[in-house]
Structure 1
């Protein structure tokens, strides 16, 4: 009984482990025809510099915009641009103010257009990802009002399936070896526990039999004395 419960627990943990490994990471979105758009290719991972910085604002203001795909970044300029997905920088004060965070993003794909929507406090940011096969990346922004911003990113990596993000992922062979080791380890531990439990049960039954035999002898001896 105990061994069965242990094996079921081990099996459940293996399933969770496998699902965690093979599941798609964050920032990867399904689009059309089985293609995926990996937003990680549109961002830097160092947390200090956004991939798209000093984005010009076509609305005549004294602000430039910055945006980083998937990964948060921070600017050190006495502003509050910390752990941000996007910020604007005032060219007069040189202070950067946060306008979006990564955990508030929503993805939409309509008629070949990839759109990221962010909501931070009362500020709304929309980022349009425009597929551009040739040429270098370009970007520009537009401030509708004090709480509404739009950024346009043109890049090859905005095309679904065109860019891949390199990671130090675990190979399938290593995953298989890990699964086998975990299963064998669970089986060995479960067997040891079962054998110890079975031995204790056998010893307990043996003592019960000895006590019963002793009790019968004592009863027989008492009858003979009578």
Structure 2
């Protein structure tokens, strides 16, 4: 074990952080084999909270009939083993529950869960990141959130779209405009296009003159 979420194996370092997000469970609404009314959630390395009864969790189960959540594992007292290409992590700090997580090296991503008895649960997760040394944890990619720049662009594009739609509606139903006159600030855009053409022509002329001087 190299640190709290990284483990050494003969094939390389396995990083449990690649199986988790910092603010939410990476695996959520995982169907339970044989129990259609149960849904499971699991997060590697980082604790998460979704409800008052699922706080600082590594894994929780939701009973869809009663709409209740129950914490079944916390991010402490993990036992890591690696044998025959399969990673097993056992959690024993979720009340009286034991959660066995099997991580299997596979290029195809999948997740399944099951309740074995009243206090024993298992997850079977296939992922390329279960192959030691194959995945490198990157905080920005694993957070499950958007960057500040992406949020700004989304807000800007949304504002422009709302402005354009509102302007068209105003011009059509208040000003009773039609056709090209429905373009908001049409004269401004025409002038901008006109100025852009003149700017390009000016630059081309400058370049041609410089090339002529160099030839002389």
Query: Which range, TM-score by smaller chain?
Result: 0.5 to 0.7
TM-score by length of 2: 0.61
2:83 match: 110
Q: CA deviation at 1:61?
A: 4.8
Match of 1:56 among 31, 47, 52: 31
Which residue pairs with 1:146 in the alignment? 118
Q: Distance in 2 between matches of 1:101 and 1:167?
A: 21
Matched position secondary structure for 1:26? coil
Offset, 1:38: 0.3
Kindly indicate which of the two structures has a greater share of residues assigned to helix: 1
- 2:74 paired with 1:96: no
Gaps of 5+ in 1: 1-22, 169-226
Alpha carbons of 1:26 and 1:64: their partners in 2 closer, same or farther (altered >3 Å)? same
Are residues 1:38 and 2:11 paired? Answer: no
Q: In the alignment, which residue of structure 1 is the partner of 2:99?
A: 125
2:35/2:114 contact within 8 Å kept: no
1:75 aligns with 2:50: yes
In structure 2, the partner of 1:26 is: 4
Contact 2:38–2:61, Cα closer than 8 Å, also in 1? yes
- The aligned residue for residue 179 of structure 1 is none
**TM-score, normalising length: structure 1:** 0.58
Alpha-carbon distance change, 167 to 86 in structure 1, aligned in 2, over 3 angstroms: closer
Deviations, residues 34-81 of structure 1 (Å, cap 9, x unaligned): x010000000012xx2000011111235211110000000012xx510
1:167 is displaced (CA, Å) by 5.5
The whole-number CA distance in structure 2 between the counterparts of 1:54 and 1:104 is: 24
Structure 1 pair 167/68, CA: closer, same or farther in 2 (3 Å)? Answer: closer
Rg comparison, structure with higher value: 1
Distance (Å, rounded) in 2 between the aligned partners of 1:63 and 1:164? 32
Q: Hey, what's the Cα distance between the residues in 1 that align with 2:105 and 2:2?
A: 22
Query: What whole-Å deviation, never above 9, does each CA across 1:65-115 have from its counterpart, x for those lacking one?
Result: 110000000012xx5100000000010222211000011211001121100
Q: Number of residues paired by the alignment?
A: 139
Richer in strand (by share): 2
Q: CA RMSD in A?
A: 1.8
